Amino acid sequence: MARGMGMGDRETSGRQRVAARDALGDGEMMRVTVDRRDVALYRIDGRLYATDDTCTHARASLTDGYLDGETVECPLHQACFHVPTGRVLAPPATEALTVYAVRVDDEGIWVGRPLRLGGAE
Ligand code: FES
């Protein structure tokens, strides 16, 4: 689990430390907060990814759903998204998730600016 991260965990670049380095095992996901926005953090095959946590269909939390490889399935109506790109893989969602830059260092896991904005595909 992410431990309490304070204001000292933000860099001038806007990156924000959101979790301890080893907070996520492979194939796991967790919800973190970045600028009051719920973000889903994933570790897949050793790589870290971050997307919006809120499903673009009807606002369910994707981290309450299921992660299968690079696909996250919404728990409410089973829309599926491709985690690395945020793209919709299965309806009823029609809009992609925003994908964020994420990296890990000795201090922890950091989430930064959007790499790809969500919305209509
Ligand atoms: S809220 Fe996610 S598919 Fe409906």
Rounded distance from Cα 13 to ligand 1 centre (Å): 33
Longest dimension (CA), the chain: 40
Task: Tell me what pLDDT residue 11 has.
Answer: 65
| Ligand 1 atom 1, closest CA | 58
| Ligand 1 atom 4, closest CA | 77
**pLDDT tens for the chain, residues 1 to 121:** 444 454 456 665 678 999 999 999 999 999 999 988 999 999 999 999 999 999 999 989 999 999 999 999 999 999 999 999 999 999 999 999 999 999 999 999 999 999 999 988 7
Per CATH, which fold does 7-120 belong to? Answer: Rieske Iron-sulfur Protein (2.102.10)
> For residue 74, which atom of ligand 1 is closest to its CA?
2
Q: What is the pTM of this model?
A: 0.89
Domain boundaries of the chain, sorted by first residue:
7-120
